[in-house]
Chains A and B, each alone.
Chain A
Amino acid sequence: GAVVSQHPSRVICKSGTSVKIECRSLDFQATTMFWYRQFPKKSLMLMATSNEGSKATYEQGVEKDKFLINHASLTLSTLTVTSAHPEDSSFYICSAKDLSETQYFGPGTRLLVL
């Protein structure tokens, strides 16, 4: 089946620094990728929809200047958490849609901001 990878799987950073998370579709092209945030024992919250070659669409309440999304190719989307703070600590998950509109999820990236 289709595989989506994320890198890194875990990252610890100091408050005020920026962190970049990569999401790749390994064996298919994805015109649309999604970024979710998952809090402990909570469901996934959609943060933004990432479209190749155009600006991302952010959900209400998500700061686009804080969570920068770039979808430079059909297989890669990146999420950059700028000036990270402890409240940004979370599990970030990306997903990618194939031509059949099926979403495949990456394994997630756990971010801890000290």
Chain B
Amino acid sequence: GNSVTQMEGPVTLSEEAFLTINCTYTATGYPSLFWYVQYPGEGLQLLLKATKADDKGSNKGFEATYRKETTSFHLEKGSVQVSDSAVYFCALTLNQAGTALIFGKGTTLSVSS
């Protein structure tokens, strides 16, 4: 089946620390991969995406590279800020019209000053 596995949280970091949130997937086919972010009390926002192997998605200092050989899409940021505190969801969708996203369980990031 199709699934997404994320590292368990919460992840607690100090401001300006390096962030990695691991994400691996299994899929019957060639999926597109996404990272969504949910700030406290808000809905999900698309953070970045990659649609094929070796693509790198990036936004707001966050990056993730689609690694087909390791079936991974790890999220990284070189220097986190307090405002990055949120829940991060890794997700995939099969490239078929009308298919839904399949989410990981989410990783809570807490950044302190």
Contact = CB atoms under 8 A, between A and B. Distances in A.
B26 interface: no
A93 B89 CA distance: 14
Interface of A is mostly: strand
B79 interface: no
23 contacts: A6-B43, A31-B98, A34-B101, A41-B106, A41-B108, A42-B106, A43-B105, A44-B103, A46-B101, A46-B102, A49-B98, A49-B100, A51-B98, A93-B43, A95-B101, A97-B98, A101-B95, A101-B97, A103-B100, A104-B46, A105-B43, A106-B43, A107-B42
B110 interface: no
Interface of B: 32, 36, 42-46, 49, 89, 93, 95, 97-98, 100-106, 108
Given A97-B98, A101-B95, A103-B101, A43 B43 contact: no
Given A93-B44, A108-B43, A42 B105 contact: yes
B26 to A, nearest CB: 16
A46 B43 contact: no
A32 interface: yes
Contacts of B98: 31-32, 49, 51, 97
Contacts of A6: 43
Contacts of A31: 98
Nearest to A91: B43
Nearest to B87: A41
Contacts of B101: 34, 46, 95, 103
Contacts of A105: 36, 43-45
A102 interface: yes
A43 B92 CA distance: 13
